[in-house]
Chain A
Amino acid sequence: MNILMLGWELPPHNSGGLGVACYHMSKALAMAGSSIDFVLPYKAHHPKTEFMRIHSATQLQPLHRNGMGAYDTPSTITDALHRKPTDRLTTIRDVQARYVEFVDTLVQSTKPDAIHAHDWLTIEAGIRAKEITGAPLIVHVHATEFDRAGNGYGNPIVHEIEEQGLLMADRIIAVSEITKGLIVHRYGIPADKVEVVYNALDTATLDDGYQYDHRTYKYLEFLKQEGYTVAATVTRFTLQKGLLQFMRAAAKACERYDKLVFLLAGDGEQRDELLQLSADFGIADKVFFTGFVRGQQWRDAYTVADIFVMSSVSEPFGLTALEAAHHDNALIITKQSGVGEVLSHIFRYDFWDTDKLADQLVAIATSKALQYELTENVKREYTRISWDAVAKQCMSMYATLKTGVTA
């Protein structure tokens, strides 16, 4: 089975979970016997990707460094669909046009059995490849423009591209029931065309000899010795992530229980607003900002934490919650986050319900028993979901489509 995988990023040049999911899914598919051509919009070295052929559509550096990453809210996009590629590569639309052109050429020589396109970024290329080859198109939705826009509507051109892709797709994969619901209700796609395939956590990658370094967050370790509980999140600081509500809940929690501190690992457009808010609420000394973290600092952020909060307003899946669980965190997750669908031993709240989040934070911080039960029990849950199972689901989907039995 030859799979044309259309992606936008892969580790270590990823700006978020999209690249991680694409990597592990491709690897599991390759292990299951698929032959994979993976197209990226930039050129860079990706270690441990021998199991597939990687194609670079441009000679650009990884895009997330210059604001064309998978998560940059494309509020400035005004270029219409089907635009011709130009010599310029200064906007995300320029890069997408070049990406389509590249895929166009690629499929002239290698005919895929299935085309697997990830998110709006590669949908146009997926449609083109389908037009040329007649191979079935699977559109894999990791996030819609509604998610990226937080509570807003988002960019209409992005919506249009998504809508067209969802219509043209032979099959749609949604990363959660929440996302499936969006696809069905907001894009008017028949429910039986959409299959939910949850992301998994590849614990093998995480258990790669990592050792916690207590010096990384030495001050937080010191506070923990003094009896403090660390509640953390590891995320981009954007509207989608619901951090302003998290901050409000943090202040409410501190009113009732003083020995709580908050680690906000990451960076983003809302950082200044969050700093200001922490001062407005009088808890600036209890909120820690790391800036963008990678490697040891990233892993240690999970480890130093006792509680992980996923405060998203709209989160199609939310792999970081599973990563946090793997680092012995008790989880508090909004009902608007897809990852919650595969977990039972967690606290849930609606992203706007700051009173409830404050309650849950205080409850865990003041009960070692509760913290222990949440932490231990959730581990049994996420280990049940594997990338091998995801690959199996995809393989059977490809097989069905190949034999012409469309849904």
Chain B
Amino acid sequence: MSQKGIVLYLHVHQPWRVSDYSIFDTASNHDYFNDQSETDRNNQKVFNKVADKSYRPMNRVLKELLDSTPDFKVSLSITGTFVEQAEKYAPDVLEDFKALVATGRVEIVAETYYHSLAFFYSREEFERQVAMHADMVKRVFGVKPTSFRNTELSYYDDIGSWAEQAGYKAVLAEGWDPILAGRTPNRPYQPPGTDSIRLLTKNYRLSDDIAFRFGNKNWEQYPLSASSYEQWLNAALNDGDIINLFMDYETFGEHQWEDTGIFEFFKSLILNWSNRSDVSFYTVTEAAESFSSAGELSMPHTVTWADSERDLSAWLGNTMQHEAMRYIYGLEHDIIRSGDMQLIGDWRKLQTSDHPYYMCTKWFHDGDVHAYFSPYDSPYDAFLYYMNAVRDVRYRLMAYHNSSHGGF
């Protein structure tokens, strides 16, 4: 019988944001991702800011903990668009991540290279992007992923069975109450129709205590100490084997700034946990292999880790978002056929789920979160610039095929 433990999984991602790309740029310049302004559409500027606030300090913390405690383990998912930007803007950040993985106690989780919603539009394109991601992980980190997470933790039963067929040992999803229906998120489950793969469900209460509430001075638990939090973890383990703490890597230093004490909190938490003989740490795959399934868990409809709805409505909730995705995936056949790697790459960068996310108009419940994460003045601006970029991709495609048939 394995020791109970925590499964810490952090998601590392940066999108290629589209500049103020106007109709006057369309068909004239083809660089949508090269904003040089002082706004948050300037990818280099954003990357450097987040690198200073989050990637560099948090990587230092993680490396120290890995060096000083023999059993600390963590899982990371790192998108292709992040790695591209790290290579371009801050190679030292990528070296830090490599050093983490080189300890052998950091698992890299598989996903789509472009952090896309391709699974919902094109299975073929989806598989190409997962393969691209695996190639990148092999090239950069020298490892082969054995677990899978889909963009924004979006999941339904088909993804579970797909992941098993693709050879993964674990797949991640949100531990959403209506789905669990009274069952604990703190044990591995089995997706319907699968043999061996395990479904790990996020303990969103305990994850969000850190990711969303930690620095909130209006929260009744503020300020949260590592020892109080540890007691909550202990309590949660009464009804399970593992606690799945899934969150954005940028929680540390970017969403929760350094002055909230987030880094000190995290270090204390990990050191205290590590000093105990009754509990342990697991990577995603280890957790799947160490515990038996608590039974079958079915998610017939898509569940994500976002917003109070836990669905895809932040990405595909209004007509602009649907239009944008319809146009971009509508190009798949002709784009792939072109074989033009630059064009294909730009087309794929436009698939990153952040683009439709910026077009989200449900302002009233979750809107503040969306506004905070959007580099545009409004969802309409996001849509406008994106559409012009899509048009330019069409233009380049037509120029490439040099033909007058088909749509524009």
Contacts and interface: CB of A to CB of B under 8 A. Distances in A.
Contacts of A284: 320, 323-324, 327, 383, 387
Contacts of A288: 23
A223 to B, nearest CB: 6
Interface size class of A (residues with CB under 8 A): 20 to 34
Interface in A268-303: 271-272, 275-276, 279-280, 282, 284-285, 288-291, 297
A228 interface: yes
A219 B26 contact: yes
Interface stretch (B70-78, B307-315, B366-374, B388-396): B388-396
A262 to B, nearest CB: 12
B319 interface: yes
A272 B378 contact: yes
B27 to A, nearest CB: 4
Given A218-B28, A275-B383, A285-B390, A290 B408 contact: no
B384 interface: yes
Given A219-B395, A222-B395, A272-B378, A279 B323 contact: yes
A280 B321 CA distance: 10
Contacts of B24: 216-217, 290, 297
A219 B391 contact: yes
Contact of B408 (A215, A217, A226, A289): A226
A223 B327 CA distance: 17
A227 B392 CA distance: 18
A189 B50 CA distance: 67
B236 interface: no
Contacts of B319: 276, 279-280, 282
Contacts of A271: 380
A272 B380 contact: yes
B277 interface: no
Contacts of B384: 275, 289
B23 A219 contact: yes
Nearest to B399: A222
A276 B27 contact: no
Contacts of A297: 24
Interface string A194-235: 000000000000000000000111111011001110000000
B380 A276 contact: yes
B227 interface: no
Interface size class of B (residues with CB under 8 A): 20 to 34
A252 B50 CA distance: 47
Among B24, B323, B324, B398, the most chain A Cβ lie within 10 Å of the Cβ of B24
B319 to A, nearest CB: 4
B404 interface: yes
B398 A279 contact: no
Contacts of B27: 218-219, 222
A297 B28 CA distance: 14
A83 to B, nearest CB: 36
A282 B378 contact: no
A281 B78 CA distance: 37
Nearest to B29: A218
Contact of B320 (A219, A275, A290): A275
B392 A282 contact: no
Interface string B374-386: 0000101001100
Contacts of A289: 23, 384
A290 B23 contact: yes
Nearest to B359: A279
B206 to A, nearest CB: 39
A285 B383 contact: no
Interface in B290-335: 318-320, 322-324, 327
B320 A223 contact: no
B383 A279 contact: yes
B59 to A, nearest CB: 41
A290 B20 CA distance: 12
Given A276-B319, A276-B320, A285-B390, A226 B404 contact: yes
B334 to A, nearest CB: 14
Nearest to B387: A284
A276 B319 CA distance: 7
Nearest to A291: B22
Contacts of A276: 318-320, 361, 380
A223 B27 CA distance: 11
A159 B26 CA distance: 45
Contacts of B28: 215, 218
Contacts of B322: 279
Interface in B1-37: 22-24, 26-28
Nearest to A285: B327
A44 B22 CA distance: 30
A396 to B, nearest CB: 47
A219 B320 CA distance: 21
Contacts of B383: 275, 279, 284
Nearest to A276: B320
Nearest to A215: B28
A215 B27 CA distance: 9
A280 B322 CA distance: 9
Contacts of B407: 258
A285 to B, nearest CB: 6
24 contacts: A216-B24, A217-B24, A218-B28, A219-B392, A220-B23, A222-B395, A222-B408, A223-B408, A226-B404, A226-B408, A227-B404, A272-B378, A275-B384, A276-B318, A276-B319, A279-B320, A279-B383, A280-B319, A282-B319, A284-B323, A284-B383, A285-B390, A288-B23, A291-B22
Given A217-B23, A284-B323, 7 more contacts: A218-B26, A276-B380, A279-B319, A279-B320, A285-B323, A285-B391, A288-B23
The 7 A-B residue pairs with the shortest CB-CB distance in the complex, in nearest-first order: A219-B27, A279-B319, A219-B26, A279-B320, A272-B380, A218-B27, A279-B323
